[in-house]
Chains A and B, each alone.
Chain A
Amino acid sequence: MIRSELIQKIADDNPHLYQRDVERIVNTIFDEITNAMARGDRVELRGFGAFSVKKRDARIGRNPRTGESVQVEEKHVPFFKTGKLLRDRLNGK
């Protein structure tokens, strides 16, 4: 399923809404999650999962081609942990 198919499903469920409003609703939800993580916040959606930010420490990396050492700076990466309800549903419980 891709974004446009998700939007279509929501539009089918809600015939009283304009398609462009459904698009704005779906986009707002994903933007809000990304914006929260960009601020370093967590987003916890019980039953579905939680989005959080993990810190990766600075390290000495190596250029695999030349073998040269390079300093890799500390960075933050997005992380998702599946919620219990969804994990159970995936396993037919």
Chain B
Amino acid sequence: MGEKTLTRMDLSEAVFREVGLSRNESAELVETVLQHMSDALVSGEQVKISSFGTFSVRDKAARVGRNPKTGEEVPIQPRRVLTFRPSHLMKERVADGNRRS
């Protein structure tokens, strides 16, 4: 199994190889894609990428948390969290790719 970490650089390198754009422009496009997805999520929209997965924003109510080290009670403010639900295709590809043979 891999354990390598890919970054924006690897994604823009893939775009660079796939389409005949400069490395600079490829990097900007990767950034633009992430920016548009982030903006939609911040505005409360769901982002649904077919055969990849769905990002959605959920509201979490306020609750009383506890510092696990000190046992002290701390209030946790209501907040919005992002969840990602992978598509069936992605789950299948990740399960198959990492199966011990």
Contact = CB atoms under 8 A, between A and B. Distances in A.
Interface size class of A (residues with CB under 8 A): 35 or more
Contact of B6 (A44, A74, A86): A44
A14 B29 CA distance: 9
A29 interface: yes
B98 interface: yes
Interface residues of B, number: 56
A46 to B, nearest CB: 7
A19 B53 CA distance: 23
B14 A32 contact: yes
B2 A44 contact: no
B52 A77 contact: no
B100 to A, nearest CB: 8
B5 A2 contact: no
Interface string A55-93: 100000000000000000011111010100011011100
B6 A24 contact: no
Interface of A: 1-3, 6, 9-10, 13-14, 21, 24-26, 28-30, 32-34, 36-49, 53, 55, 74-78, 80, 82, 86-87, 89-91
Given A10-B36, A48-B37, 9 more contacts: A14-B32, A28-B15, A29-B33, A36-B2, A36-B6, A38-B94, A39-B97, A76-B99, A82-B81
